[in-house]
Amino acid sequence: MSEKKHIEEAKDISLGYFITGGLVLAIAVLLGLLTRISQTGMLGNVPKLYYSLMTLHGMAAFVGWGCFTSIGLTWYVLVKTLDSPLHSPKLVKFIYWLFATGFVLLVVSVLFGNFGGSWVFLYPIAFYGYWDTWAATVWTLGVILAGVGIILYGLEILLTIRKAGYGFWAALGFESFKKDFDEMENRVPLPAVPFAVIGLGMIVATIPFAILLIYQFLELIGLINTRMDALLAKNMLWWFGHPVVYLILFPVVGFFYYVTEVYAGMKLIGERYAKLAWALATIVQNFIGAHHVYNDMAQAPWIHVWSQLGTYAIIIPSLISIFSITATIFISDFHWGVASQYMFTSLAFWLLAGMSGWVNATISLNIHIHNTLWVVAHFHVMALLALSTMIFGMGYHLITDYTEGDFNKNLASKALWTYVIGALGFTHFWFIQGLWGGIRRSYASTPENLTLLTYLSIPFMIIAVIGIWINVYVAFSAAFGKSKAAPAATASAS
């Protein structure tokens, strides 16, 4: 089997990102487990240990695994979908190293400087914690490097699409407005569209956040002596902080589209409606971050109202995508293998996470769950059960291709069910604690009568961590050729 050179190259790069990210995840989930255990007081020095573990866990899992692997797998899917080379493989490798260097700085800041300001380090917390100023400075610098990587990611996507000969607006879904859409030849392949949308979205969203980060950095090293307005800073953070979730979700939707078409052996149905929804997302994605600030009474009321409406609007691309994918599976002669098993599981949790997200987005309900463990449950269903599951699915698709199907598929299926059971268990303790007033980012279980639920969730977390570790082991041994294909319990997805 000899594939075109540019495809081989993208495959190697993507696999490199995926395997590196997998190792980060293996450590990150252990840190998550330790964060929870530290709440019981068993590990000593409760507040400091809890906050530093939580901070590193959040950043490692979300950025070091989630964003990093969705960026990494983008390259392969984009090249395959467009059947055209990357704009610059060198730039893509540079982005890898920017993230890696940034990540090392984050680890140094927490391990040696005790930074613990949480992964969002809400301004001006960096100046007030139990950590040293140098730790906050190194942390800020680490995040700046990742930010530069994110902007370059956006640029590389747009340039790659242009190199393949497609127009900018068409790639963002706007060609769906054309009257003769159905007759048009050379339409942008649908799986490329979510990448274009997030590419532009991230370039726009990272700018206000980068300004905030640079301001904080200059203040930490003493070059600026004026504190920024806290509400303004909060808005700058969330302008970016919401769409950065899409830095995982939108590429994941691209993976969904791509593997669905491969395993269904046909194009997705509803292309025009999906593209219309992506055109909407292009605009709305950058104007809804203020839904994280509903409880700040000083914020102008119209911003709250707009944020609620905008957040409802952004549900549309997800709903249309879930419909298109499900319908395509239903009408096609769908091929079930490891990757498509992961994909289907992810699809179900995407819907579940979306429903709890709708509660968060609705102001009259948000007042009951704001800053409670309900929110933590919501985003773990999303980040772990929906997004990470699909990233693994995409990873297994790549590994299937890379190893020509010679990896331990049986163990890969078992790993899926292990962490799904664990994660469904532990997130539901959080949902319940949240509804009963359990506060997030609180080193003790508050109210105290919820402590029992904290203890009960720990065994489920252990199961989830084991499931993730098995996954990383299977992927790792497949990539490095140590795999022995187990007796095929599941069909081989060749």
Query: According to the binding rule CB under 6 A, does residue 377 interact with ligand HEM?
Result: no
Smaller CB separation from Cu ion, 242 or 304: 242
Residue type, 199: G
From the CB of 226, what's the least distance to ligand HEM, in Å?
27
Q: List all residues 6 or more positions away from 82 whose beta carbon is below 8 Å from its beta carbon.
A: 160, 161, 164, 166, 189, 192
From the CB of 371, what's the least distance to Cu ion, in Å?
13
Q: Which stretch binds ligand HEM (CB under 6 A): 102-110, 137-145, 256-264, 381-389?
A: 381-389
18, 65, 131, 246: which one binds ligand HEM (CB under 6 A): 65
Partner that binds at residue 242, options Cu ion, ligand HEM, none, CB closer than 5 to 8 Å by kind: Cu ion
From the CB of 12, what's the least distance to Cu ion, in Å?
35
Q: What values do phi and psi take at 447, rounded to 5?
A: -65, 155
Smaller CB separation from ligand HEM, 38 or 321: 38
Residue pair 229/363 in contact (Cβ under 8 Å)? The answer is no
Query: According to the binding rule CB under 6 A, does residue 66 interact with ligand HEM?
Result: yes
Query: According to the binding rule CB under 6 A, does residue 464 interact with ligand HEM?
Result: yes
Q: Which stretch binds ligand HEM (CB under 6 A): 61-69, 76-84, 302-310, 480-488?
A: 61-69
Distance between CA 463 and CA 474 in Å, rounded? 17
Smaller CB separation from ligand HEM, 155 or 202: 202
From the CB of 300, what's the least distance to ligand HEM, in Å?
27
13, 15, 49, 61: which one binds ligand HEM (CB under 6 A): 61
Query: According to the binding rule CB under 6 A, does residue 383 interact with ligand HEM?
Result: yes
Q: List all residues 6 or more positions away from 261 whose beta carbon is below 8 Å from its beta carbon.
A: 191, 267, 268, 328
- Residue (of 191, 167, 366) closest to 262 by Cα position: 191
- Residue 75 in tokens: 């390259």
At what angle are helices 89-113 and 133-163 packed, to 10 degrees? 160
Query: According to the binding rule CB under 6 A, does residue 247 interact with ligand HEM?
Result: no
CA distances to 370, 434, 462 from 441, rounded to whole Å, are 12, 12, 20
Partner that binds at residue 107, options Cu ion, ligand HEM, none, CB closer than 5 to 8 Å by kind: none
Q: Is the peptide bond before 124 cis (omega within 30 degrees of 0)?
A: yes
Q: Contact positions toward Cu ion, by CB under 5 A?
A: 242
Distance between CA 67 and CA 64 in Å, rounded? 7
- Residue 384 in tokens: 């772990």
118, 326, 403, 451: which one binds ligand HEM (CB under 6 A): 118
For the chain, what is the radius of gyration of the CA atoms? 22
- Residue (of 347, 336, 340, 491) closest to 410 by Cα position: 491
Query: According to the binding rule CB under 6 A, does residue 198 interact with ligand HEM?
Result: no
Smaller CB separation from Cu ion, 242 or 397: 242
Q: List all residues 6 or more positions away from 270 whose beta carbon is below 8 Å from its beta carbon.
A: 320, 323, 324, 327
- Residue (of 390, 386, 404, 383) closest to 339 by Cα position: 390
14, 20, 55, 81: which one binds ligand HEM (CB under 6 A): 55
Smaller CB separation from Cu ion, 161 or 237: 237
13, 19, 49, 54: which one binds ligand HEM (CB under 6 A): 54
- Residue 439 in tokens: 């506060």
15, 19, 26, 29: which one binds ligand HEM (CB under 6 A): 29
26, 52, 440, 474: which one binds ligand HEM (CB under 6 A): 440
Partner that binds at residue 274, options Cu ion, ligand HEM, none, CB closer than 5 to 8 Å by kind: none
Cα-based torsion angle of the residue sequence 95, 257, 338, 322 in order, rounded to the nearest 10 degrees: 120
Residue pair 273/260 in contact (Cβ under 8 Å)? The answer is no
Count of positions on this chain that bind ligand HEM (CB under 6 A): 26
Q: Which stretch binds ligand HEM (CB under 6 A): 29-37, 186-194, 361-369, 480-488?
A: 29-37
Query: According to the binding rule CB under 6 A, does residue 465 interact with ligand HEM?
Result: yes
Name the residue with the smallest CB distance to Cu ion.
242
Smaller CB separation from ligand HEM, 275 or 378: 378
Residue pair 31/65 in contact (Cβ under 8 Å)? The answer is no
Distance between CA 414 and CA 435 in Å, rounded? 32
3-state secondary structure of 356: helix
Q: Which residues bind ligand HEM (CB under 6 A)?
A: 29, 32-33, 35-36, 54-55, 57-58, 61-62, 65-66, 118-119, 376, 380, 383-384, 388, 440-441, 461, 464-465, 468
